[in-house]
Amino acid sequence: MAKALSGIKPTGGLTIGNYLGALRHFKNYQEDNELFIFVADMHALTLPIDPDYLKKNIYDIVALYLAAGLDPKKTVLFRQSDINEVGQLNSIIANYIYMGELSRMTQFKEKSRALNNKEIGVGLFTYPVLMSADLLLYDTEVCPVGEDQVQHVELARDIAKRINSRYKKKIFNIPHAVVSGVGKRIKNLQDPTKKMSKSDERGSKGVIYLIEDDEKSIRKKIMSAVTDLGTEVKYDEKNKPGISNLIQIYCTFTNKTIEEAEKIFADSNYGNFKKCVADAVLNELLPFKAKYEEYRSNMDYLNSVLLDGAERARKIAEVVLKRVRSTVGLI
């Protein structure tokens, strides 16, 4: 039985990228692993965010987790900031991570660029340190994430190995990222060369929002997705990034392979193909969204899930932190 852990930042506007790359897979880890899934609320502070919006988003994510099939009796479902131990572990391991390593992180570079390299908070720079603390505090072995988070998980691996070797004992498990095949990097429908991201401007036509978009707007966004020259529904990321992205979305929602999809749409035009993509997306998303609404309206239940999850997470965190403190000499 492996220990699996993952989390999502409550920065609002979750997309089908988050769903296909991460959220949808979490429940698969629930039966045969010890699963920890959390709301990464401290990470949400790494870029400016309105406090009321953040509070709302935290509950949105818990309801999404439940709608995605996570059973809080099986999965430890909690909020990152409820566990004080993560702050202390963050401070300890920060001493074993080098500035050069953090400056090389792609996400840091992208996000600093988006800020025009001005007023970059130290928290944004040390984001992967906190993420490593998340992973190491719960003895994580497996971390299901989308492709954009792999570099961060790899850094956590390096740090765990570095600290274990410094003290010549196994203090930390070595986590590794598990990335789903198709769906690992869903692209923007209007610009299929870049990732579909929740940090794109609000209401973007190229982004399908899990909560905000209804059936009509999901259909509209898919039907007006940018396509490529030619008429063939064929997977070719380089020459046909738009169609390839839609094939990925279709395949993930229908659990079909790319070859199967290409066969089905061999005689199809782009319009008909897009309609089938929209049907596939809605077939799964509409019932998912209905479940989400039901959980989201029950604040007492959401609070009780978080309370119970925090108690269970804290029990593990206390043991691991104690082990770390005594190893580095803090007792």
Active site residues: 111, 195, 198
CA 134 to chain centre: 14
If binding is defined by CB under 6 A, does position 182 make contact with ligand TYM?
no
If binding is defined by CB under 6 A, does position 185 make contact with ligand TYM?
yes
What is d(CA 223, CA 225) in angstroms, rounded to the nearest whole number?
6
If binding is defined by CB under 6 A, does position 196 make contact with ligand TYM?
yes
If binding is defined by CB under 6 A, does position 41 make contact with ligand TYM?
no
If binding is defined by CB under 6 A, does position 70 make contact with ligand TYM?
no
Q: Return the closest-CA partner of residue 146 out of 25, 318, 237.
A: 25
Choices 114-122, 195-203, 267-275, 309-317 (CB under 6 A): range interacting with ligand TYM:
195-203
If binding is defined by CB under 6 A, does position 34 make contact with ligand TYM?
no
What is d(CA 137, CA 135) in angstroms, rounded to the nearest whole number?
6
Specify the residue, 72 or 183, whose C-beta has the smaller distance to ligand TYM.
183
Minimum CB distance to ligand TYM, residue 39 (Å): 9
3-state helix, strand, coil in the chain (%, to 5): 55, 10, 35
If binding is defined by CB under 6 A, does position 12 make contact with ligand TYM?
no
Minimum CB distance to ligand TYM, residue 45 (Å): 12
Size of the site for ligand TYM (CB under 6 A): 26
What Å distances lie between residue 91 and 8, 126, 264, CA to CA?
Answer: 22, 10, 54
Minimum CB distance to ligand TYM, residue 18 (Å): 4
- Site residues for ligand TYM, 102-131, by CB under 6 A, read 131
Given the structure tokens 């899934």, which residue do they identify? 37
If binding is defined by CB under 6 A, does position 97 make contact with ligand TYM?
no
Given the structure tokens 């978080």, which residue do they identify? 306
If residue 55 lies in a helix (H) or strand (E), which one and from where to where?
helix 51-67
Single out the residue of 4, 7, 36, 252 in contact with ligand TYM (rule: CB under 6 A).
7
What Å distances lie between residue 89 and 156, 168, 170, 325, CA to CA?
Answer: 13, 19, 16, 9
Minimum CB distance to ligand TYM, residue 9 (Å): 4
226 neighbors 192 (Cβ within 8 angstroms): yes
If binding is defined by CB under 6 A, does position 137 make contact with ligand TYM?
no
If binding is defined by CB under 6 A, does position 289 make contact with ligand TYM?
no
Specify the residue, 45 or 171, whose C-beta has the smaller distance to ligand TYM.
45
| Amino acid at the residue 131 | M
Minimum CB distance to ligand TYM, residue 106 (Å): 12
If binding is defined by CB under 6 A, does position 241 make contact with ligand TYM?
no
If binding is defined by CB under 6 A, does position 4 make contact with ligand TYM?
no
Q: Which residues have C-beta within 8 Å of that of residue 315, sequence separation ≥ 6? A: none
Single out the residue of 28, 45, 112, 148 in contact with ligand TYM (rule: CB under 6 A).
148
267 neighbors 232 (Cβ within 8 angstroms): no
Single out the residue of 4, 66, 92, 145 in contact with ligand TYM (rule: CB under 6 A).
145
If binding is defined by CB under 6 A, does position 276 make contact with ligand TYM?
no
Write the DSSP assignment of 103-154 as a string of letters: HT-HHHHHHHHHTTT-S--HHHHTHHHHHHHHHHHTT--EEE--GGGHHHHH
Q: Which residues have C-beta within 8 Å of that of residue 245, sequence separation ≥ 6? A: 186, 187, 189, 192, 225
Chain positions contacting ligand TYM, by CB under 6 A: 5-9, 17-18, 20-22, 40, 43, 131, 134-135, 143, 145-146, 148-149, 184-186, 195-197
